[in-house]
């Protein structure tokens, strides 16, 4: 059976006023893979995710989702397909943790209707998976930054979508919870065929968990391919301007990156 790519971007551009964020961006993303988006600050990674989730629209070019323009989808329908874990999460109301996680179920709850038993079960499952069920009744305002971030991950999981987008979603977490979340979402790819598209700051996490890496630079796709194909010293030098060495790590059983700043690189 012919498989339709989850996303197809052709010559997509987007700018903030006179500042270009993405330019002639062309990329195909298939279902059932863990994609790592890596690149220097300001290269357009977050804008790219905003386009995929439908919160921004391309100024030019085409963006297809499952074979049709993303703009033709109703917001509720798209929210049943794609969930985003943002880098920063601010909420000005005194909701409990479980109420925030329940927000992930809004695409399934009709207006003026109450959450169903299925909705509450999805909330409980998501909190259990991320390990936050023990503070379900606590106010979101009382939590640390890392605890709030785990709640937002649980909210996206409760949304129960085939595609999950992560915008440096573990940046506020310690190593224990970072590894926990990456392990959980990697399992969703392998066991359920879900698609993960994650902006990842740490190249070693990207090398360890991703199927494919997308290197971005100055609003464009610089290199893309499997970890073995593109996670190499020349690519890292081109994108980040640092010297790197990639070696197999016997403890983690994956290739890992060591790097140093070597001054101006040719």
- Closest CA relative to residue 45, chosen from 152, 171, 180, 139: 171
| Residue 226 domain flag | yes
My answer on whether 48 and 140 are in the same domain is no
The reply to whether 6 and 24 lie within a common domain is yes
Domain termination residue (choose one: 106, 139, 160): 160
Indicate if 102 and 63 belong to the same structural domain.
no
Rg for the chain, CA atoms, rounded: 19
Q: What is the CATH number of the domain that holds 54?
A: 3.40.50.300
pLDDT at position 87 is 82
Within-domain flag for 232:
yes
The verdict on 95 and 45 lying in the same domain is no
Which of 86, 49, 61, 74 is CA-nearest to residue 195?
49
Q: Does any domain span residue 180?
A: no
pLDDT of residue 238: 93
122 within some domain: yes
Residue 246 belongs to some domain of the structure:
no
Same domain, 58 and 168: yes
Q: What strands lie across the sheet with 68-69, from one edge to the other?
A: 19-29, 7-16, 60-65, 68-69
Do 155 and 50 fall within a single domain? no
**Phi/psi at 10 (nearest 5 deg)?**
-125, 110
Q: Which stretches of the chain drop beneath a pLDDT of 50?
A: 1-4, 265-266
Domain count for the chain, please give it: 2
What is the distance between the alpha carbons of residues 49 and 124, in angstroms, rounded to a whole number?
27
Residues 6+ apart with CB under 8 A from 173: 146, 149, 150, 181
* Residues 120, 104 share a domain: yes
* Same domain (yes/no): 55, 168: yes
- Report if residue 33 sits inside a domain: yes
Q: What is the pLDDT of residue 3?
A: 45
Q: CA separation (Å) from 102 to 115, 155, 197, 240?
A: 8, 7, 23, 39
77 and 198 share a domain? yes
- The count of C-alpha atoms lying within 13 angstroms of the C-alpha of 52, restricted to the half-sphere facing its C-beta, is 32
pLDDT recorded at residue 2: 39
If asked whether residues 112 and 51 sit together in one domain, one would say: no
- Based on the domain organization, do 100 and 139 belong to the same domain? yes
**In the prediction, which pLDDT does 90 show?**
76
The answer to whether residue 168 is domain-embedded is yes
214 lies in a domain? yes
Q: Does 59 share its domain with 167?
A: yes
**Residue-level pLDDT at 260:** 84
Determine the structural domain holding residue 139 and report its residue range: 87-160
pLDDT tens for residues 139-154? 999 998 889 999 999 9
């Amino acid at each position: 059976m012919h498989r339709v790519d989850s996303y197809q971007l052709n010559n997509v551009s987007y700018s903030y006023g006179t500042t270009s964020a993405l330019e002639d961006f062309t990329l195909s993303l298939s279902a059932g893979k863990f994609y790592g988006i890596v690149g220097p600050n300001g290269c357009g990674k977050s804008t790219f995710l905003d386009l995929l989730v439908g919160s921004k629209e391309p100024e030019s070019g085409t963006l297809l989702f499952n074979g049709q323009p993303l703009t033709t989808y109703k917001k509720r329908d798209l929210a049943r397909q794609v969930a985003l874990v943002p880098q920063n999460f601010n909420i000005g109301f005194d909701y409990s943790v479980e109420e925030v996680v329940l927000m992930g179920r809004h695409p399934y709850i009709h207006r003026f209707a109450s959450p169903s038993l299925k909705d509450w079960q999805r909330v409980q499952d998501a909190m259990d998976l991320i390990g936050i069920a023990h503070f379900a009744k606590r106010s979101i305002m009382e939590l640390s930054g890392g605890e709030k971030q785990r709640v937002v991950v649980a909210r996206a999981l409760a949304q129960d979508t085939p595609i999950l987008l992560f915008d440096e979603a573990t940046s506020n977490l310690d190593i224990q919870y970072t590894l926990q979340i990456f392990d959980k979402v990697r399992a969703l790819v392998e066991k359920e065929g879900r698609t993960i598209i994650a902006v990842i700051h740490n190249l070693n996490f990207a090398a360890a968990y991703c199927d494919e890496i997308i290197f971005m630079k100055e609003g464009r796709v610089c290199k893309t391919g499997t970890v073995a194909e593109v996670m190499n010293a020349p690519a890292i030098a081109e994108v980040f301007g640092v010297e790197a060495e990639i070696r197999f790590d016997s403890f983690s059983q994956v290739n890992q990156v060591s790097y140093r700043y070597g001054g101006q690189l040719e």
